Chains A and B, each alone.
Chain A
């Protein structure tokens, strides 16, 4: 069975049915980027609780379905415009960037393309350098071309290595801009208008599979957590080999994010043993023969 990895999906808004279906389709791991929740938060505490669930409860939830769970941490552009709160969030961010299972800074970038967004974007690019982490960049839905150009310019200006950056939500118009750089290329496949499996396959035919990454970006809106395996099937139908499928939909995202030094490819080829924690405990700890020392 082909193994898949979805490197951009907001599982906090998804149900346990989704997890079951994803596991059944061969998805062995996910990355959950910190993003906004559909409406702006008004206090630092809401951010802290959200970040804590990304490294805590959500990871545990995924493990119950055999799925490896990683996350990225960052202040998203939509919420960067509340300056007071943004400063508070940026101040707590470093402690999350140090945690296990945090494999990038993100989603960061532009939304309305304001000076305040740019300030937060640049600050977080600096943090990525400091913590030696890759960067997941969100490109805006409005003025996508202008936003993508400014994104690439800012990355150069701050001096983050391009190979440590994935520019996400690309389409036919913005992908060529990123192809001129060393950045990795992210594509989110949606049910409706933005980008479909067939359009994705056409891009792969035209531009090849190097540094190409595909995700579902599924969240609380109309979206589909099975878009990665569905893209795999569309690739096979279009004549790509199983090896190509695995390169784009498994190897590439893992090669990119494992630049963090916090994830390795081999263990991701197999699902976590379901209820791993219980097994681990019963086998080696809870029923273990470890002598009582005291």
Chain B
């Protein structure tokens, strides 16, 4: 996993300035505990678990990715970033996978949303596709909406499935990043079929479906 180091470092510096005590104090101390080795990993997991209670859930507008970010989500992303910095590109996927597995839904959501900065080369596509096998609308939205990662790294088939399931989950696909650039005849057919199915069942169409078909 290749990190977008410059961007993250700059955003982290900005975040540290924006935080107010006692959240700031806690966060700075937490970063100190994010060392390499087993202890560092355990610390990272514990700090991430506590982050919402320590940092709060206000909206944080300064994070360099689109979408809705809370202070807790951003703090969790930086904890992950700092632990990954201790490992080389090859080991990072292992470290990430373990922390991800141990995270609760909100921790997972924070990390999925930031994947484009954690893995600039698209090595974690399989992980993202697997993570998308969820019934939670919020977790799915973390991958599908406002997230530049899928359009950048998914193959056509995977990207089409992402859009289709977003429609099924009644998410606003106008917020799928890069959807127009990734538009293709198969996607149009899949979406048209879905619309016909819904019409036959007498159900409402998911939002954004006509917008997409008119493009």
Do B67 and A95 touch across chains, with their CB atoms under 8 A apart? no
How many residues on the A side are at the interface (Cβ–Cβ under 8 A)?
A: 28
Q: Is the CB of A286 closer than 8 A to any CB of chain B?
A: yes
Q: Is the CB of A292 closer than 8 A to any CB of chain B?
A: yes
Residues in B whose Cβ lies below 8 Å from that of A56: 104-105
Q: Is the CB of A87 closer than 8 A to any CB of chain B?
A: no
Give Cα A282 to B174, complex, Å. Answer: 13
- Seen from chain A, the residues whose Cβ lies within 8 Å of a Cβ on chain B are 55-57, 59-60, 94-95, 98-101, 261-262, 277-278, 280-282, 284-288, 290-294
Q: Is the CB of B162 closer than 8 A to any CB of chain A?
A: no
Q: Quick one: given A286-B175, A290-B67, A292-B66, are A98 and B141 in contact (CB under 8 Å)?
A: no
Q: Is the CB of B20 closer than 8 A to any CB of chain A?
A: no
Q: Is the CB of B24 closer than 8 A to any CB of chain A?
A: no
Do B49 and A98 touch across chains, with their CB atoms under 8 A apart? yes
Q: Interface-forming stretch among B57-65, B88-96, B123-131, B194-202? A: B57-65
Partner of B137, one of A100, A262, A281, A291: A281
Give Cα A282 to B67, complex, Å. Answer: 12
Residue of A55, A99, A278, A293 ringed by the most chain B CB atoms within 10 A: A99
Q: Is the CB of B115 closer than 8 A to any CB of chain A?
A: no
Give Cα A262 to B137, complex, Å. Answer: 24
Residues in A whose Cβ lies below 8 Å from that of B135: 57, 60
Partner of B61, one of A57, A284, A290: A290
Minimum CB–CB distance for A44 against chain B, Å? 13
Residues in A whose Cβ lies below 8 Å from that of B52: 100
Residues in B whose Cβ lies below 8 Å from that of A293: 63-66
Minimum CB–CB distance for A86 against chain B, Å? 20
How many residues on the B side are at the interface (Cβ–Cβ under 8 A)?
A: 31
Partner of B45, one of A57, A95, A292: A95
Task: List, sorted by A's number, 23 A–B pairs whose CB atoms are closer than 8 Å.
Answer: A55-B104, A55-B105, A56-B104, A59-B105, A95-B42, A95-B45, A98-B45, A99-B49, A99-B104, A100-B106, A101-B104, A277-B137, A280-B138, A281-B137, A281-B138, A281-B141, A285-B67, A285-B141, A286-B68, A286-B141, A286-B175, A294-B65, A294-B66
Residues in A whose Cβ lies below 8 Å from that of B64: 293-294
Give Cα A292 to B146, complex, Å. Answer: 8
Task: Report the tally of A-B residue pairs with Cβ distances under 8 A.
Answer: 69
Partner of A94, one of B46, B68, B104, B137: B46
Q: Is the CB of B50 closer than 8 A to any CB of chain A?
A: yes
Shortest beta-carbon contacts, A-B, top 10: A285-B68, A98-B49, A292-B66, A277-B138, A98-B46, A99-B49, A55-B104, A286-B172, A99-B104, A56-B105
Residues in B whose Cβ lies below 8 Å from that of A285: 67-68, 141
Do A278 and B137 touch across chains, with their CB atoms under 8 A apart? yes
Residues in A whose Cβ lies below 8 Å from that of B12: none
Partner of B172, one of A100, A287, A291: A287
Q: Is the CB of B171 closer than 8 A to any CB of chain A?
A: yes
Q: Is the CB of B150 closer than 8 A to any CB of chain A?
A: no
Residues in B whose Cβ lies below 8 Å from that of A288: 68
Q: Quick one: given A56-B104, A278-B137, are A95 and B65 in contact (CB under 8 Å)?
A: no
Minimum CB–CB distance for B163 against chain A, Å? 15
List the A residue with the shortest CB-CB distance to B42. Answer: A95
Do A286 and B66 touch across chains, with their CB atoms under 8 A apart? no
Q: Is the CB of B114 closer than 8 A to any CB of chain A?
A: no
Give Cα A91 to B170, complex, Å. Answer: 40
List the A residue with the shortest CB-CB distance to B108. Answer: A56
Give Cα A264 to B46, complex, Å. Answer: 22
Minimum CB–CB distance for A283 against chain B, Å? 10
Q: Is the CB of B102 closer than 8 A to any CB of chain A?
A: yes
Do A95 and B68 touch across chains, with their CB atoms under 8 A apart? no
Do B50 and A294 touch across chains, with their CB atoms under 8 A apart? no
List the B residue with the shortest CB-CB distance to A288. Answer: B68
List the B residue with the shortest CB-CB distance to A292. Answer: B66
Extra pairs beyond A56-B105, A287-B175, A294-B66 (15, CB < 8 Å): A94-B46, A95-B49, A95-B102, A100-B106, A101-B104, A262-B53, A277-B137, A280-B138, A284-B68, A285-B141, A286-B175, A290-B61, A290-B68, A293-B63, A294-B65
Minimum CB–CB distance for A58 against chain B, Å? 11
Chain B, 31-89, CB within 8 A of any chain A CB: 42, 45-46, 49-50, 52-53, 59, 61, 63-68
